[in-house]
Amino acid sequence: MAYVIEAEGLVKEYRMGLLPWRARIVRALDGVDLRVARGTLFSLLGPNGAGKTTLVKILSTLLIPDRGWARVSGFDVVEEAGEVRRRIGVVLGGERALYWRLSGWDNLWFFSQLYGIPPREARRRVRELLELVGLEEWAHVRVENYSKGMKQRLHIARGLINDPEVLLLDEPTIGLDPKAAREVRGIVRRIVREGRTVLLTTHYMVEAEELSDRVAIINGGRIVAEGAPEDLKSLVSGGSIVELRVAGGVGVREAVERLGGRVISVGEVDGARVFKVLVPEPDFFIEALLSELPRLDARIRGLDVRSPSLEDVFIKLTGGGRE
Protein backbone atom coordinates (compact mmCIF):
# COMPACT_ATOMS: atom_id res chain seq x y z
CA MET A 1 0.00 0.00 0.00
CA ALA A 2 1.42 3.37 -1.03
CA TYR A 3 0.95 5.98 1.65
CA VAL A 4 1.14 9.53 0.44
CA ILE A 5 0.93 11.01 3.94
CA GLU A 6 2.72 9.38 6.85
CA ALA A 7 3.34 10.68 10.34
CA GLU A 8 4.59 9.17 13.53
CA GLY A 9 4.69 10.42 17.10
CA LEU A 10 3.84 14.04 16.28
CA VAL A 11 3.89 16.31 19.30
CA LYS A 12 3.25 20.06 19.21
CA GLU A 13 3.02 22.41 22.15
CA TYR A 14 2.09 26.09 22.26
CA ARG A 15 3.32 28.42 24.96
CA MET A 16 0.62 30.79 26.19
CA GLY A 17 1.56 34.08 27.85
CA LEU A 18 4.61 36.28 27.42
CA LEU A 19 6.12 36.05 30.91
CA PRO A 20 8.14 32.82 31.26
CA TRP A 21 7.18 32.27 34.92
CA ARG A 22 3.50 32.64 34.13
CA ALA A 23 3.54 30.74 30.83
CA ARG A 24 1.13 27.91 30.31
CA ILE A 25 1.91 25.10 27.91
CA VAL A 26 -0.90 23.78 25.71
CA ARG A 27 -0.18 20.40 24.16
CA ALA A 28 -2.10 20.58 20.87
CA LEU A 29 -0.80 17.26 19.52
CA ASP A 30 0.13 14.46 21.86
CA GLY A 31 1.75 11.72 19.79
CA VAL A 32 -0.17 11.45 16.53
CA ASP A 33 0.43 8.63 14.02
CA LEU A 34 -1.18 8.89 10.61
CA ARG A 35 -1.21 7.02 7.29
CA VAL A 36 -3.19 8.11 4.28
CA ALA A 37 -3.29 5.95 1.14
CA ARG A 38 -2.86 7.52 -2.30
CA GLY A 39 -6.03 8.56 -4.11
CA THR A 40 -8.28 8.36 -1.05
CA LEU A 41 -10.20 10.83 1.06
CA PHE A 42 -9.21 10.83 4.70
CA SER A 43 -11.11 12.85 7.30
CA LEU A 44 -9.87 14.08 10.63
CA LEU A 45 -12.96 14.40 12.76
CA GLY A 46 -12.80 16.10 16.12
CA PRO A 47 -14.36 18.72 18.39
CA ASN A 48 -13.01 22.28 18.69
CA GLY A 49 -9.49 22.44 19.99
CA ALA A 50 -8.81 18.77 19.21
CA GLY A 51 -5.64 19.60 17.25
CA LYS A 52 -6.92 19.26 13.67
CA THR A 53 -5.63 22.60 12.37
CA THR A 54 -2.28 22.10 14.08
CA LEU A 55 -1.88 18.76 12.31
CA VAL A 56 -2.79 20.27 8.92
CA LYS A 57 -0.33 23.11 9.50
CA ILE A 58 2.46 20.65 10.25
CA LEU A 59 1.67 18.59 7.14
CA SER A 60 1.65 21.76 5.04
CA THR A 61 5.07 22.86 6.46
CA LEU A 62 3.60 25.96 8.17
CA LEU A 63 4.48 24.66 11.65
CA ILE A 64 7.40 22.56 12.84
CA PRO A 65 6.58 19.70 15.22
CA ASP A 66 8.36 19.53 18.59
CA ARG A 67 8.70 15.77 18.24
CA GLY A 68 7.97 13.05 15.69
CA TRP A 69 8.13 13.19 11.92
CA ALA A 70 5.84 13.48 8.91
CA ARG A 71 6.31 12.81 5.22
CA VAL A 72 4.12 13.92 2.34
CA SER A 73 4.68 12.26 -1.06
CA GLY A 74 7.79 10.74 0.48
CA PHE A 75 9.35 14.06 1.54
CA ASP A 76 10.01 15.12 5.11
CA VAL A 77 7.90 18.17 6.07
CA VAL A 78 10.79 19.78 7.96
CA GLU A 79 13.94 18.73 6.08
CA GLU A 80 12.41 18.87 2.59
CA ALA A 81 9.71 21.50 3.06
CA GLY A 82 10.19 22.96 -0.45
CA GLU A 83 9.58 19.58 -2.09
CA VAL A 84 6.47 19.09 0.04
CA ARG A 85 5.11 22.53 -0.84
CA ARG A 86 5.43 21.85 -4.56
CA ARG A 87 3.23 18.77 -4.20
CA ILE A 88 0.46 20.03 -1.95
CA GLY A 89 -2.43 22.45 -2.06
CA VAL A 90 -3.71 23.94 1.20
CA VAL A 91 -7.04 25.54 1.95
CA LEU A 92 -7.15 26.73 5.54
CA GLY A 93 -10.50 27.56 7.16
CA GLY A 94 -11.32 31.20 7.74
CA GLU A 95 -8.36 32.48 5.74
CA ARG A 96 -8.57 35.55 3.56
CA ALA A 97 -6.17 34.44 0.87
CA LEU A 98 -8.21 35.87 -2.02
CA TYR A 99 -8.12 39.37 -3.45
CA TRP A 100 -11.68 40.61 -3.15
CA ARG A 101 -11.27 43.44 -5.64
CA LEU A 102 -10.04 41.09 -8.33
CA SER A 103 -12.18 38.69 -10.34
CA GLY A 104 -12.07 34.93 -9.85
CA TRP A 105 -10.07 34.60 -13.05
CA ASP A 106 -7.54 37.28 -12.00
CA ASN A 107 -7.10 35.69 -8.55
CA LEU A 108 -6.27 32.30 -10.05
CA TRP A 109 -4.07 33.90 -12.70
CA PHE A 110 -2.14 35.76 -9.99
CA PHE A 111 -1.51 32.56 -7.99
CA SER A 112 -0.56 30.64 -11.14
CA GLN A 113 2.13 33.23 -11.80
CA LEU A 114 3.40 33.00 -8.20
CA TYR A 115 3.98 29.32 -8.94
CA GLY A 116 5.74 30.27 -12.20
CA ILE A 117 3.35 28.32 -14.42
CA PRO A 118 3.97 29.21 -18.11
CA PRO A 119 1.18 31.51 -19.48
CA ARG A 120 -0.36 29.10 -21.99
CA GLU A 121 -0.57 26.29 -19.42
CA ALA A 122 -1.74 28.73 -16.73
CA ARG A 123 -4.64 29.91 -18.93
CA ARG A 124 -5.75 26.33 -19.53
CA ARG A 125 -5.44 25.48 -15.85
CA VAL A 126 -7.41 28.54 -14.68
CA ARG A 127 -10.18 27.73 -17.17
CA GLU A 128 -10.34 24.09 -16.05
CA LEU A 129 -10.38 24.98 -12.38
CA LEU A 130 -13.13 27.58 -12.76
CA GLU A 131 -15.13 24.89 -14.53
CA LEU A 132 -14.38 22.30 -11.84
CA VAL A 133 -15.74 24.59 -9.12
CA GLY A 134 -18.69 25.79 -11.24
CA LEU A 135 -17.61 29.42 -11.48
CA GLU A 136 -17.00 29.74 -15.22
CA GLU A 137 -19.88 32.20 -15.57
CA TRP A 138 -18.54 34.28 -12.72
CA ALA A 139 -14.94 34.25 -13.92
CA HIS A 140 -14.81 37.97 -14.60
CA VAL A 141 -16.88 39.20 -11.66
CA ARG A 142 -15.08 40.65 -8.66
CA VAL A 143 -14.79 38.24 -5.72
CA GLU A 144 -16.41 40.80 -3.37
CA ASN A 145 -19.68 40.09 -5.19
CA TYR A 146 -19.44 36.32 -4.67
CA SER A 147 -21.53 34.47 -2.08
CA LYS A 148 -19.75 32.72 0.79
CA GLY A 149 -20.07 29.37 -0.97
CA MET A 150 -18.62 30.77 -4.21
CA LYS A 151 -15.66 32.24 -2.34
CA GLN A 152 -15.00 28.89 -0.73
CA ARG A 153 -15.17 27.18 -4.13
CA LEU A 154 -12.65 29.68 -5.47
CA HIS A 155 -10.43 28.99 -2.44
CA ILE A 156 -10.47 25.32 -3.37
CA ALA A 157 -9.61 26.15 -7.00
CA ARG A 158 -6.71 28.26 -5.71
CA GLY A 159 -5.53 25.27 -3.66
CA LEU A 160 -5.36 23.23 -6.88
CA ILE A 161 -3.54 25.78 -9.04
CA ASN A 162 -0.19 23.98 -8.80
CA ASP A 163 -1.80 20.64 -9.74
CA PRO A 164 -1.00 19.10 -6.33
CA GLU A 165 -0.95 15.39 -5.53
CA VAL A 166 -2.35 16.11 -2.10
CA LEU A 167 -5.00 18.65 -1.10
CA LEU A 168 -5.29 19.61 2.58
CA LEU A 169 -8.67 21.13 3.41
CA ASP A 170 -9.30 22.61 6.83
CA GLU A 171 -13.05 22.72 7.62
CA PRO A 172 -14.11 23.28 3.99
CA THR A 173 -17.83 23.69 4.70
CA ILE A 174 -17.79 25.62 7.96
CA GLY A 175 -20.28 28.50 7.97
CA LEU A 176 -21.87 27.51 4.65
CA ASP A 177 -25.59 26.95 4.23
CA PRO A 178 -26.63 23.34 3.44
CA LYS A 179 -26.85 23.91 -0.33
CA ALA A 180 -23.45 25.57 -0.56
CA ALA A 181 -21.95 22.86 1.67
CA ARG A 182 -23.40 20.18 -0.61
CA GLU A 183 -21.81 21.86 -3.64
CA VAL A 184 -18.43 21.97 -1.92
CA ARG A 185 -18.71 18.29 -0.98
CA GLY A 186 -19.51 17.46 -4.62
CA ILE A 187 -16.35 19.27 -5.72
CA VAL A 188 -14.26 17.44 -3.12
CA ARG A 189 -15.59 14.14 -4.48
CA ARG A 190 -14.62 15.12 -8.03
CA ILE A 191 -11.12 16.04 -6.86
CA VAL A 192 -10.65 12.56 -5.36
CA ARG A 193 -12.06 10.96 -8.52
CA GLU A 194 -9.34 12.80 -10.47
CA GLY A 195 -6.88 10.67 -8.52
CA ARG A 196 -5.72 13.17 -5.91
CA THR A 197 -5.44 12.45 -2.21
CA VAL A 198 -7.52 14.69 0.04
CA LEU A 199 -7.12 15.11 3.77
CA LEU A 200 -9.88 17.16 5.28
CA THR A 201 -10.72 18.24 8.78
CA THR A 202 -14.27 18.57 9.93
CA HIS A 203 -16.45 18.48 12.98
CA TYR A 204 -19.49 17.44 10.94
CA MET A 205 -20.04 13.69 11.31
CA VAL A 206 -22.32 13.56 8.29
CA GLU A 207 -19.59 15.06 6.14
CA ALA A 208 -17.01 12.56 7.35
CA GLU A 209 -19.40 9.65 6.97
CA GLU A 210 -20.55 10.66 3.50
CA LEU A 211 -17.21 11.53 1.91
CA SER A 212 -14.45 9.53 3.51
CA ASP A 213 -12.69 6.31 2.70
CA ARG A 214 -11.23 6.48 6.18
CA VAL A 215 -11.82 8.62 9.25
CA ALA A 216 -9.61 9.35 12.23
CA ILE A 217 -11.32 10.68 15.32
CA ILE A 218 -9.06 13.12 17.12
CA ASN A 219 -9.59 14.40 20.63
CA GLY A 220 -7.26 16.21 23.02
CA GLY A 221 -4.35 15.94 20.55
CA ARG A 222 -4.65 12.15 20.16
CA ILE A 223 -6.19 9.92 17.55
CA VAL A 224 -8.69 7.90 19.54
CA ALA A 225 -10.01 5.74 16.67
CA GLU A 226 -9.30 5.24 13.00
CA GLY A 227 -10.92 3.22 10.24
CA ALA A 228 -13.48 3.13 7.45
CA PRO A 229 -16.76 4.76 8.56
CA GLU A 230 -18.40 1.32 8.66
CA ASP A 231 -15.60 -0.11 10.84
CA LEU A 232 -15.87 2.78 13.24
CA LYS A 233 -19.60 2.30 13.54
CA SER A 234 -18.96 -1.28 14.60
CA LEU A 235 -17.31 0.18 17.73
CA VAL A 236 -20.80 0.84 18.98
CA SER A 237 -22.29 -2.18 17.28
CA GLY A 238 -23.77 -5.22 18.89
CA GLY A 239 -26.81 -3.15 19.67
CA SER A 240 -29.12 -0.28 18.89
CA ILE A 241 -29.30 3.31 19.99
CA VAL A 242 -32.38 4.14 22.02
CA GLU A 243 -33.09 7.83 22.35
CA LEU A 244 -35.27 8.45 25.34
CA ARG A 245 -36.88 11.78 26.26
CA VAL A 246 -38.21 12.05 29.78
CA ALA A 247 -39.58 14.81 31.97
CA GLY A 248 -39.21 14.62 35.73
CA GLY A 249 -38.27 11.46 37.59
CA VAL A 250 -35.48 10.59 39.96
CA GLY A 251 -32.86 7.93 39.26
CA VAL A 252 -33.68 7.52 35.55
CA ARG A 253 -30.07 7.09 34.55
CA GLU A 254 -29.51 4.43 37.20
CA ALA A 255 -32.61 2.57 36.05
CA VAL A 256 -31.44 2.65 32.42
CA GLU A 257 -28.09 1.21 33.45
CA ARG A 258 -29.65 -1.40 35.71
CA LEU A 259 -31.63 -2.65 32.72
CA GLY A 260 -28.43 -3.16 30.71
CA GLY A 261 -28.32 0.13 28.77
CA ARG A 262 -25.07 2.07 28.37
CA VAL A 263 -25.71 5.84 28.53
CA ILE A 264 -23.52 7.54 25.92
CA SER A 265 -24.85 11.07 26.37
CA VAL A 266 -27.41 13.09 28.29
CA GLY A 267 -28.79 16.35 26.94
CA GLU A 268 -31.79 18.60 27.38
CA VAL A 269 -34.43 19.66 24.86
CA ASP A 270 -37.55 21.70 25.70
CA GLY A 271 -37.31 20.95 29.41
CA ALA A 272 -37.00 17.19 28.87
CA ARG A 273 -33.85 15.17 29.43
CA VAL A 274 -32.63 13.25 26.40
CA PHE A 275 -30.71 10.05 27.09
CA LYS A 276 -28.85 8.35 24.26
CA VAL A 277 -28.46 4.74 25.28
CA LEU A 278 -26.65 1.87 23.63
CA VAL A 279 -28.62 -1.30 24.28
CA PRO A 280 -27.96 -4.89 23.23
CA GLU A 281 -31.62 -5.92 22.93
CA PRO A 282 -33.95 -2.98 22.42
CA ASP A 283 -37.23 -4.95 22.67
CA PHE A 284 -36.47 -6.32 26.11
CA PHE A 285 -34.98 -3.01 27.26
CA ILE A 286 -37.93 -0.88 26.19
CA GLU A 287 -40.50 -3.22 27.73
CA ALA A 288 -38.66 -3.23 31.05
CA LEU A 289 -38.11 0.51 30.94
CA LEU A 290 -41.77 1.28 30.27
CA SER A 291 -42.79 -0.56 33.41
CA GLU A 292 -39.98 0.98 35.46
CA LEU A 293 -40.32 4.69 34.60
CA PRO A 294 -43.75 5.38 36.17
CA ARG A 295 -42.35 4.12 39.48
CA LEU A 296 -39.67 6.81 39.27
CA ASP A 297 -42.29 9.47 38.54
CA ALA A 298 -40.82 10.06 35.07
CA ARG A 299 -43.02 10.94 32.09
CA ILE A 300 -41.94 9.70 28.67
CA ARG A 301 -41.97 12.43 26.03
CA GLY A 302 -40.42 10.42 23.23
CA LEU A 303 -38.75 7.15 22.36
CA ASP A 304 -36.77 6.34 19.26
CA VAL A 305 -34.75 3.29 18.22
CA ARG A 306 -32.16 3.37 15.43
CA SER A 307 -28.86 1.88 14.27
CA PRO A 308 -25.66 3.51 15.54
CA SER A 309 -24.19 6.34 13.43
CA LEU A 310 -20.71 7.80 13.24
CA GLU A 311 -21.97 10.54 15.54
CA ASP A 312 -22.62 7.96 18.28
CA VAL A 313 -19.05 6.68 17.92
CA PHE A 314 -17.77 10.22 18.10
CA ILE A 315 -19.78 11.03 21.23
CA LYS A 316 -18.74 7.79 22.88
CA LEU A 317 -15.05 8.41 22.19
CA THR A 318 -14.82 12.15 22.75
CA GLY A 319 -17.47 12.54 25.41
CA GLY A 320 -19.33 15.19 23.42
CA GLY A 321 -18.50 17.81 20.83
CA ARG A 322 -20.55 20.22 18.79
CA GLU A 323 -23.25 19.81 16.18
| Least CB distance to ligand ATP at residue 245 (A) | 29
Given the complex with ligand ATP, which of 28 and 232 has the nearer CB atom? Answer: 28
| Least CB distance to ligand ATP at residue 44 (A) | 8
| Least CB distance to ligand ATP at residue 170 (A) | 7
Given the complex with ligand ATP, which of 75 and 204 has the nearer CB atom? Answer: 204
SS (H, E, C) 197-228: EEEEEECCHHHHHHHCCEEEEEECCEEEEEEC
| Least CB distance to ligand ATP at residue 309 (A) | 20
| Least CB distance to ligand ATP at residue 63 (A) | 9
| Least CB distance to ligand ATP at residue 99 (A) | 25
| Least CB distance to ligand ATP at residue 21 (A) | 18
Given the complex with ligand ATP, which of 47 and 164 has the nearer CB atom? Answer: 47
Given the complex with ligand ATP, which of 135 and 311 has the nearer CB atom? Answer: 311
Given a contact cutoff of 8 angstroms between Cβ atoms, the answer to whether 255 and 292 are in contact is yes
Given a contact cutoff of 8 angstroms between Cβ atoms, the answer to whether 87 and 165 are in contact is yes
d(CA 166, CA 145) in angstroms, rounded, equals 30
| Least CB distance to ligand ATP at residue 57 (A) | 8
d(CA 314, CA 219) in angstroms, rounded, equals 10
Given the complex with ligand ATP, which of 71 and 203 has the nearer CB atom? Answer: 203
Q: Give Cβ neighbours of residue 274 (< 8 Å, ≥ 6 apart).
A: 243, 244, 245, 266, 267, 268
Given the complex with ligand ATP, which of 14 and 115 has the nearer CB atom? Answer: 14
CB burial string 63-93: b at 16+ within 10 A, e below:
bebeebebbbbebebeebbebbbebbbbbbb
d(CA 3, CA 39) in angstroms, rounded, equals 9
CA neighbor of 104 nearest in space, from 133, 131, 130: 130
DSSP structural state of residue 293 = G
SS (H, E, C) 121-190: HHHHHHHHHHHHCCCHHHCCCEHHHCCHHHHHHHHHHHHCCCCCCEEEEECCCCCCCHHHHHHHHHHHHH
Given the complex with ligand ATP, which of 50 and 198 has the nearer CB atom? Answer: 50
Given the complex with ligand ATP, which of 103 and 201 has the nearer CB atom? Answer: 201
Residues that bind ligand ATP (CB under 6 A): 14, 16, 26, 28, 46, 48-54, 203
